Amino acid sequence: MIELENVSRDYGDGKVVHALNNVSLRVARGERLAVMGPSGSGKSTLLNLICGLDEPTAGVIKIDGVNIALLDDDTRTRLRREKIGMVFQTFNLLPTLTTVENVSLPLRLQGISRKESEIRANAMLEKVGLEGRATHRPDQLSGGERQRTAIARALIFVPPVLLADEPTGNLDSATGEDILILLDDLHFEFDTTILLVTHNVEAARHCDRILRFRDGMVVQEERLNLAQVMG
Ligand SMILES: Nc1ncnc2c1ncn2[C@@H]1O[C@H](COP(=O)(O)OP(=O)(O)O)[C@@H](O)[C@H]1O
Ligand SMILES: [Mg+2]
C-alpha cells in the first residue's frame, strides 16, 4: 500500500538538517502503524512526504505501487485527495465555515455539487457522532468535536489511507480515547490503513506495529500481537 525506498528529506543549505535519513518501510493494506519518537525526529516530515505535501530530497515513495513523484501535479493532487486523508494536530479547520461546510470542502474542490457534497458530509458527520453539530462553526465546538470534524473531512472520500499527526495530542485523555475508538471503528468498517503519530503508548496500542524514530531514522520496530491489540 505504502512503500518508502531509501527516502531522505534534508532541510536547509549550509548546516543541513536530515529530517529523514534514508528511511525504507512498507505499510500493508489495512495495517495500523504507530509512529513514535521524540520531537524533531522526523515524524511529521514522514506524513507530509507520504501525503505529498512535501517532496523527498532522495528516494522513492510509492502509493499502491505508483511512484508519486512521477505523476503530474493534477493527478498527484487528485490522488492525494481521494486516496489519502490527513488529520493535522491543530485540526486546520476553516474558522468561517460550518462543520458540514468544512467536511464537504474536499468534495466541493473536486467539483461535486453543493447539495451532493452536503449529503455525503452529513452522512460522514453521523459516522463520527457529530450529526447535531452540522451548522456550528469551529469556535462553537469542543476540542474533541473539532478533531472529529477534521477526521470526518479527512475521510470524506473514504480514502484507503489515513494519516493522523498526533490526533489526540491536544485532547484530554477521555476525549482522546474516544477518538482512538472512532479510528478503530473506521478501521474495522473500511479496512483503512492508518499511520498514527503519537507520543502516547496507550494510543500506539491501538495499532498493529510501532516504529520508533530518532534523528530521522527508524531505531526500533515492535509488532503488537492480536491479544494485545484486542485487550
Ligand atoms: N520546513 C522546515 N524547514 C527546516 N527544517 C525543518 C522543516 N520542517 C522540519 N524541519 C526539521 O526537521 C526535523 C524533523 O522535524 P519534524 O518532522 O517536524 O519532527 P517531529 O514531527 O518528529 O517533531 C526537525 O529538526 C525540524 O526542525
Ligand atoms: Mg510533528
Tell me if 104 CB under 6 Å of ligand 1. Answer: no
Tell me if 212 CB under 6 Å of ligand 1. Answer: no
Interstrand relation of 58-63 and 66-67 (parallel, antiparallel or unpaired): antiparallel
Check which CATH number belongs to the domain holding 40 and give it: 3.40.50.300
Task: Compute the distance from residue 164 Cα to the ligand 2 centre, in Å.
Answer: 10
For residue 12, being part of any structural domain is answered with yes
Q: What is the DSSP string of the chain?
A: -EEEEEEEEEE-SSS-EEEEEEEEEEE-TT-EEEEE--TTSSHHHHHHHHTTSS--SEEEEEETTEEGGGS-HHHHHHHHHHHEEEE-TT----TTS-HHHHHHHHHHHTT--HHHHHHHHHHHHHHTT-GGGTT--GGGS-HHHHHHHHHHHHTTT--SEEEEESTTTTS-HHHHHHHHHHHHHHHHHH--EEEEE-S-HHHHTTSSEEEEEETTEEEEEEEPPHHHHH-
Task: Compute the distance from residue 166 Cα to the ligand 2 centre, in Å.
Answer: 8
For residue 85, being part of any structural domain is answered with yes
pLDDT at 225 over 70: no
Tell me if 17 CB under 6 Å of ligand 1. Answer: yes
Q: How far apart are CA 47 and CA 80, in angstroms?
A: 12
Q: What is the pLDDT of residues 125-166, one digit of tens each?
A: 998 889 999 999 999 999 999 999 999 999 898 899 999 999
Ligand closest to the CA atom of residue 169? 2
For residue 175, being part of any structural domain is answered with yes
For residue 148, being part of any structural domain is answered with no
Task: Compute the distance from residue 43 Cα to the ligand 2 centre, in Å.
Answer: 5
Number of separate domains in the chain: 1
pLDDT at 30 over 90: yes
For residue 128, being part of any structural domain is answered with no
For residue 100, being part of any structural domain is answered with no
**Burial of 25: CB neighbours in 10 Å, binned 0-12, 13-18, 19+:** middle
Which residue has the CA at smallest separation from atom 8 of ligand 1? 45
Tell me if 43 CB under 6 Å of ligand 1. Answer: yes
Q: Which domain holds residue 28?
A: 2-92+159-230
Tell me if 225 CB under 6 Å of ligand 1. Answer: no
For residue 135, being part of any structural domain is answered with no
Q: What is the pLDDT of residues 88-123, one digit of tens each?
A: 888 899 999 999 999 999 999 989 999 999 999 999
For residue 21, being part of any structural domain is answered with yes
pLDDT at 230 over 90: no
pLDDT at 226 over 80: no
pLDDT at 54 over 70: yes
From 7, 35, 44, 45, give the residue whose CB has the most ligand 1 atoms within 8 Å, as the site to mutate.
45
Question: What percent of the chain has a predicted confidence (pLDDT) above 70?
Answer: 97
Which residue has the CA at smallest separation from atom 26 of ligand 1? 40
pLDDT at 214 over 90: yes
Contact 170, 203 (CB under 8 A): no
Which residue has the CA at smallest separation from atom 13 of ligand 1? 19
Average pLDDT over residues 187-203: 93
| Ligand 1 atom at shortest distance from the alpha carbon of 39 | 23
Task: Compute the distance from residue 20 Cα to the ligand 1 centre, in Å.
Answer: 9
> What global pTM score does this model have?
0.90
pLDDT for residue 231: 44
Lowest mean pLDDT among 79-83, 84-88, 123-127: 79-83
